[in-house]
A and B are shown apart, each in its own frame.
Chain A
Amino acid sequence: MGQNLPIPPTEESLLQTGCYIQFESDRRQFGCAYRMFATMVILLSTLSVATVAYARKTNQTVVEDPFDKAAGGATLTRATRENVMIANPALMPYGGALHRWLGTQFTFLCNKESIDFLRSMVQSTQSGDEAAAEEESSSDDSAELIERVFDTPIHAGMQNITGWTLNNFGVEIFARAELDIEANEFGKYGAPEVRFGADIYAGGAASAALRLIQPLSVGVTAKYLAVAEPDIGVSLLDTEEISKLSSAEGMQEAASYGYGLGYDGGALLFLQGETIDYRLAVKIEDFGNTTFTGTQAPFLQQMHIGTGVTFHNSVDSLHLAVDYRDYQAVYEEPMFKRVYAGARLSLREYVGLATGLYQGYPTFGARLDLIFFKLGITSYTKELGEYPGANPRSIYEAYFMTGF
């Protein structure tokens, strides 16, 4: 889209592409803002993407706040303040006071199947004592265990975000590690396969943002990343590969870190009313591609678009949002993995409730804000496969944070 547009785009050409966003009722008041915004959208969307090598991370950010996931992962128009820099730096200037957040957040996660598996293991251990008395055959137990392993993907991880966010500036360090182990009766080439995958991201980010005019803000984030995304599938028939990975060198090669510097940029059009706000956001992630040392595949430049509406009074708010991430589909992911939608409700700034659709799956979450100490839980499902229902992980996240 927009590849043949004159630069700078004319109003006529923008209208032809359908990218010229019009709010008829606010046209006079916000005409300047949306023209600038639309122009930015078009200009940024014409930037080329050079490579086709894919990382495991696609349209999601390297770290995500659990409450944002509970709200369907739609973060372009509104994000929790702990992760606003990564979600969309252009959100920073709309936080009210100069100081927005200083603190740290810890998140622990695992999938439902892991919990069920552990529970069944405990149960089978208990029943195993009885079974021993009944002299059950060990081969049956082994077969059952193998069958259970093949039915139970293991997914677990943790995340930390520590940062200081001001109205126009922020710094943040973060680390996230998620492991996924699964066994498939039918691997990539049909033979039984054990697959080991991990998403390991660590680094730091600095953001700056400002309001160009009252309803329009822009922000940029520079981030330094250490990334390891091992994705190893070993066929149980492939003795050569098993031997290779059994060696220290083989595993090291498969799980090496890549280091790189990347940039994000965002813009937010914020049409504020007394009880209803409208928001429209665009974000360029990994501007010009984020490349890494070693064999780590680059993070491709993507463009995300989001819109939201907020119903509010002076202390409570209900925010409804939809994000269309990677709208140019540079990662060639299906539509359902690029659309995020949800609702989040803030009550007296002490309680947060959220629900949404994350890659087509329902999400839920609750969060309690006790001024200097906050905690919450989130339930969501991530699709690791290529089509809905192919290889989902139902994940629970529990998190707590301290800060102010």
Chain B
Amino acid sequence: MLRPLIFLITIAVSTIHCGTDNKAEPYVDLTDEQKARKALDAEEYEDAAELYAQVIEDDPERYDLFPIYATALAGAGGVSLLGVVMDQLANSASASGADTGVLGMIDKIVPADATREKAEFVDQAVEVLNGIPAEVLEGAAYRVGVSLQLTIYSSVYTAMIMDLILTIDAGTVSPEALAAMTPEDAALILDAFLQAGSVGDPDSPMTQAMSQAATQIEGMEGETTADKLRNYLNGGGGSSNSQSLHQ
């Protein structure tokens, strides 16, 4: 019986020597969707986004993939839904903008090392979620999640754009950056506010803060959007307007 025992031990040792990884991995061809999922789990967001885009391009009716595709895009933009959710749980009032104002909120939700390129990814995430037809979303299992994703991504995008253009630090706008703001930048900021105030969960304090800010900016005195925004940020439009941003 020695030979079978040696044989079994040889098999066991060989198997152990190979480690605990799945031995079938080299022989399995993953689908693009599986590759995308694998990339997302590995936090390789741009790769995941590209792969999800490919899957959706091949099958445009895969609306169930839109939310996870948006997650990959937002991840490429430095936005972690888990981080936002945990931040909300830890300090929901201050993170919502309800009592700190939008500028105060920006410091909390703008991802580290934000760039224009990253902001573009987040904006794309909003665009993707907005691409789900209303009639599909109405009965979908992911309806509530998508609504909150939209709220979060559009708000973060707005915060990123504000931060990148106006160099906000501890809730204060840089006067130099405000003076140097171009009409295009001002339009970009206003559009971001308008978008963040109109998509997602209308009952969310974040959405309401964005919507209120957009309305107030549009109601300010000034010939151009940039003037209105400057007046608004300088508190020229009245204390109640500026407070919503500056508190």
Chain A residues in contact with chain B, CB under 8 A?
139, 142-143, 146, 150, 185-186, 188-192, 235-241, 311, 313, 315-318, 334-336, 339, 343, 345, 347, 353, 355-357, 359-362, 364, 381, 383, 386-390, 392, 394
A165 to chain B, nearest CB (A): 26
Report the Cα distance A311→B18, complex, angstroms: 26
Residues in A with CB closer than 8 Å to B37 are 390
B residues within 8 A CB of A339? Answer: 24
Q: Mark B9-44, 1 if CB is under 8 A from A, else 0.
A: 001100110101111110110100010011011000
Contacts A190-B70, A387-B38, A388-B25; is A237 near B85 (CB within 8 Å)? yes
- In the complex, A317→B145 CA distance in Å? 57
* Cβ-defined contact, B7 with A318, below 8 A: yes
Q: Find chain A residues with CB under 8 A from B134 CB.
A: none
Given A189-B64, A237-B85, A388-B28, CB of A364 within 8 Å of CB of B12: yes
Query: Chain A residues near B142 (CB, 8 Å)?
Result: 189, 235, 238
B67 contacts the other chain (CB 8 A):
yes
Contact B11 A355 (CB under 8 A): yes
Structural contact, A237 and B149, CB atoms closer than 8 A: yes
Could you say which residues of chain B place their CB within 8 Å of the CB of A315? 1
A345 and B30 form a contact (CB under 8 A): no
Asked if B195 lies at the interface with its beta carbon under 8 angstroms from chain A, I say no
Given contacts A189-B141, A235-B145, 11 further A-B contacts (CB under 8 A): A142-B90, A190-B149, A191-B81, A192-B82, A236-B85, A318-B7, A336-B24, A383-B22, A388-B22, A389-B21, A390-B38
Contact for B20 among A239, A355, A394, CB less than 8 A: A394
Query: Nearest Cβ in chain B — how far from A113, in angstroms?
Result: 13
- Contact partners of B139 in chain A: CB under 8 A: none
Q: Which residues of A contact B30 (CB under 8 A)?
A: 387
Q: Which residue of B lies closest to A238 (CB)?
A: B144
**Do residues A192 and B81 form an inter-chain contact, with CB atoms below 8 A?**
yes
Also in contact, A139 and B70, with CB within 8 A (given A353-B8, A355-B12, A389-B22): no
Chain A residues near B141 (CB-CB < 8 A)? 189
B177 at the interface (CB under 8 A from A): no
A387-B4 contact, Cβ under 8 Å, with A362-B20, A362-B23: no
B86 touches A191 (CB 8 A): no
**What's the minimum C-beta distance from B34 to chain A, rounded to whole angstroms?**
5
When C-beta atoms are compared, the residue in chain B nearest to A342 turns out to be B11
Name the residue of chain B whose CB is nearest to the CB of A186.
B40
> Are A186 and B18 in touch, CB under 8 angstroms?
no
Closest 5 interchain pairs by CB?
Answer: A190-B71, A360-B24, A336-B24, A318-B4, A388-B22
Determine how close the nearest CB of chain A comes to the CB of B230; give it in whole angstroms.
Answer: 36
In the assembled complex, the Cα of A139 lies from the Cα of B86 at a distance in Å of: 11
Contact A357:B4 (CB < 8 A) given known A189-B64, A190-B149: no
Residues from chain B with a CB closer than 8 A to the CB of A360 are 22-25
- Give the residues in chain B near A335, CB-CB below 8 Å: 24, 28
**C-alpha spacing A236/B80, complex, angstroms:** 13
CB–CB A238/B90 < 8 A: no
In angstroms, Cα B88 to Cα A146, docked, is 14
A390 to B80 CA separation, bound complex (whole angstroms): 21
B52's nearest neighbour on chain A, judged by CB, is A190
Alpha-carbon distance between A330 and B24 when the two chains are bound, in angstroms: 21
Known: A237-B144, A239-B144, A386-B34. A189 touches B67 (CB 8 A): yes
Which of A336, A355, A390: most chain B Cβ within 10 A? A355
Given contacts A186-B40, A318-B4, contact A237 B81 (CB under 8 A): yes
Nearest chain B CB to A135's CB is how many angstroms away?
Answer: 19
Q: How far is the CB of A365 from chain B (nearest CB, A)?
A: 10
Q: How far is the CB of A31 from chain B (nearest CB, A)?
A: 30
Question: Counting CB contacts under 8 A, is B192 at the interface?
Answer: no
**Closest approach, in angstroms, between the C-beta of B68 and any C-beta of chain A?**
4
B81 touches A387 (CB 8 A): no
Residue numbers in A under 8 Å from B5 (CB-CB): 318, 345, 347
Q: Are A336 and B70 in contact (CB under 8 A)?
A: no
A-B residue pairs in contact (CB < 8 Å), sample of 29: A146-B86, A185-B82, A189-B67, A189-B142, A190-B149, A191-B145, A191-B148, A192-B85, A236-B85, A237-B85, A239-B144, A241-B144, A316-B1, A318-B8, A336-B22, A345-B4, A347-B1, A353-B12, A355-B12, A360-B22, A360-B23, A360-B25, A364-B16, A387-B34, A388-B25, A389-B21, A389-B25, A390-B37, A390-B41
